[in-house]
Amino acid sequence: MKYQAIIFDLDGVICHTDRYHYLAWKQLADELGIYFDETINHRLRGVSRMESLEIVLERSDRTFTEEEKLLYAEKKNEVYKELLKQMSPKDLSEEVKQTLDELRAKGLKLGIGSSSKNARFILSRIGLEDYFDAVCDGNCISRSKPDPEVFVKAAAMLSTPAERCLVVEDAKAGVEAAVAGGMDCAAIGDARCCEQAAHGLTMFSDLLKVAAD
Ligand code: BG6
Ligand code: MG
């Protein structure tokens, strides 16, 4: 097999938190009188919390101090974490769980490479807290995707060279990060239009075909 390890992005790949991000950013934007919609929310995929805030604040005609920005990011996160409490193992699809189990049964190491600082909390909500061989998240890195740091560190945690790792991503920034780290990327959802992706997945279980090569 070409790949020894698979590193999964979390949000938009293993489970779907987009709606909760949207609602939490929308609440903050409304409080600040800033226009925010689903299209802007789409641009936040894969990028860090502080970079997301910068994108949200682009629509404002005033400038914000660093203290204000930290406060607003924290405020959004409190709302977001409250919303995440609605998640349960039901938010992990049967298809995703079964595919993960089959990949593991093939002897592949499985890891997470996520920009989110809430990754472990989300994994615990969906019943995967102890499932992965490595979890590299927003708390482990100082540079966000498209920088490859999160995937390079995840590969090191999995003791697997980059060329034997496959990254699964739903965001352009994530595909770019994987490629910059010397890894192949399987793109799912909107990221499928990224030319840099080595594989396109119509559905998550297509990974079984890709990983069998
Ligand atoms: C990524 C999401 O996984 O995590 C982004 O795709 C989000 O939309 C980023 O901004 C940071 O998340 P958190 O949970 O640390 O605020
Ligand atoms: Mg994602």
Q: What is the pLDDT of residues 37-83, one digit of tens each?
A: 999 999 999 889 999 999 999 999 999 999 999 999 999 999 999 99
Protein residue with least CA distance to atom 2, ligand 1:
46
Average pLDDT over residues 176-193: 96
Sheet strands (E) in the chain: 5-8, 109-113, 134-136, 165-169, 184-188, 199-201
pTM of structure: 0.96
Q: State the distance between the two ends of the chain, measured CA to CA, in whole angstroms.
A: 6
Among 8, 11, 15, residue to substitute to test ligand 1 (most atoms within 8 Å of Cβ): 11
CB of 45 closer than 6 angstroms to any ligand 1 atom: yes
Q: What's the CA gap between 101 and 117, in Å, rounded?
A: 25
Is 135 annotated as a binding-site member? no
Average pLDDT of the chain?
A: 97
User: Measured over all CA atoms, what is the biggest interatomic distance in the chain, rounded to whole angstroms?
Assistant: 54
Average pLDDT over residues 11-26: 97
Among 9, 14, 48, 176, residue to substitute to test ligand 1 (most atoms within 8 Å of Cβ): 48
Q: Is the pLDDT of residue 213 over 80?
A: no
Query: Is the N-terminal amide bond of 148 cis, ω within 30° of 0?
Result: no
Average pLDDT over residues 112-119: 97
Q: Is 9 a catalytic residue?
A: yes
Query: Is the N-terminal amide bond of 146 cis, ω within 30° of 0?
Result: yes
Residue 17's pLDDT is 96
Confidence class of residue 212 from pLDDT cuts 50, 70 and 90? confident
Q: 3-class DSSP state for residue 30?
A: helix
CB of 144 closer than 6 angstroms to any ligand 1 atom: no
